[in-house]
């Protein structure tokens, strides 16, 4: 029997990678923008730190709750579809087999071979075959609410801690430029790491996240300066 090597594909990382990158990116952008906005309003260093820490905690919890609710809804939909498919298999097994064969024909198999493949898959695990080939649900891509929530909250906290460290390390007189530059560097690094894991172009990913981060920080600085003058 021929031996096969195990191929490594990146789709298995999609679930946690999306949540992790989203969390870290939001953490950096949100907390850096908050710090810059408050600092532009002439707040003290202690005031900036309090606002930053409060934003960090609130943001992490918001990310966790949002991801859990969103992915739970996806998981509920998948379960509902699986249950409907199970009932259809129980009520009309032959029709479901023909339906599966038709899917394989549409993907390029000749009708005879498609029927044989559908027959063997249905004999092995009919529900799994329909979940994968009809519904597009697989073990790799299935929704995992708790994993998504923890990834988002944890990475938001890690990302948001970076701008706070800049506040602690650099002098108060350089707070805005130091937080801005360090946060943009963190964003660029995050973009390259996520691109590396996902197999995407590094430069494009880095430019994408730094552009939106710079825009968010610039707008928040303008709002902080405006309200600082008004107050």
Q: Is residue 231 part of a domain?
A: no
* Angle, helix 175-198 to helix 14-40, in steps of 10 degrees: 170
Model pLDDT for residues 38-48, shown as the tens digit of each residue = 988 888 889 99
Q: Is residue 155 part of a domain?
A: yes
Domain, as residue range, for 160 = 14-224
The region, left, alpha or beta by phi > 0 then psi within -120 to 50, assigned to residue 199 is left
Question: What is the pTM for the complete model shown?
Answer: 0.67
Please report, rounded to a whole number, the percentage of residues in the chain having pLDDT higher than 70: 86
Higher pLDDT, 134 or 112: 112
Rounded average pLDDT over 83-105:
83
Q: Is residue 4 part of a domain?
A: no
Number of domains in the chain: 1
Return the pLDDT at 24: 86
Cα 217 to Cα 22: distance, rounded to the nearest angstrom: 17
Q: Is residue 230 part of a domain?
A: no
Q: Is residue 176 part of a domain?
A: yes
Q: Is residue 205 part of a domain?
A: yes
Q: Is residue 1 part of a domain?
A: no
Residue 148: helix, strand or coil by DSSP?
A: helix
Cβ neighbourhood burial of 124 (10 Å; 0-12, 13-18, 19+) = exposed
Q: Is residue 229 part of a domain?
A: no
Return the pLDDT at 1: 44
pLDDT tops 90 at residue 147: no
Name the pLDDT band for 57 (thresholds 50, 70, 90). Answer: very high
């Amino acid at each position: 029997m021929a031996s096969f090597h195990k191929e490594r594909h990146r789709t298995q990382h999609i679930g946690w990678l999306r949540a992790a990158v989203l969390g870290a990116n939001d953490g950096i952008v949100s907390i850096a923008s908050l710090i810059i906005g408050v600092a532009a309003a002439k707040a003290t260093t202690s005031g900036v730190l309090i606002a930053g820490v409060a934003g960090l905690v609130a943001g992490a919890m918001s990310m966790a709750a949002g991801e859990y609710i969103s992915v739970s809804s996806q998981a509920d939909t998948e379960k509902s579809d699986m249950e409907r498919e199970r009932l259809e298999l129980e009520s009309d097994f032959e029709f479901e087999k023909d339906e599966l064969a038709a899917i394989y024909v549409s993907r390029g198999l000749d009708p005879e071979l498609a029927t044989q493949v559908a027959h063997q898959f249905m004999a092995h695990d009919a529900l799994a075959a329909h979940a994968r080939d009809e519904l597009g649900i697989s073990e790799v891509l299935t929704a995992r609410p708790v994993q998504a929530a923890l990834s988002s909250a944890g990475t938001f906290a890690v990302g948001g801690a970076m701008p706070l460290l800049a506040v602690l390390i650099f002098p108060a007189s350089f707070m805005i430029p130091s937080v801005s530059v360090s946060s943009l560097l963190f964003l660029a690094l995050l973009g390259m790491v996520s691109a590396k894991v996902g197999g995407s172009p590094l430069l494009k990913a880095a430019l994408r996240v730094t552009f939106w981060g710079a825009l968010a920080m610039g707008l928040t600085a303008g709002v902080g300066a405006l309200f600082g003058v008004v107050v």
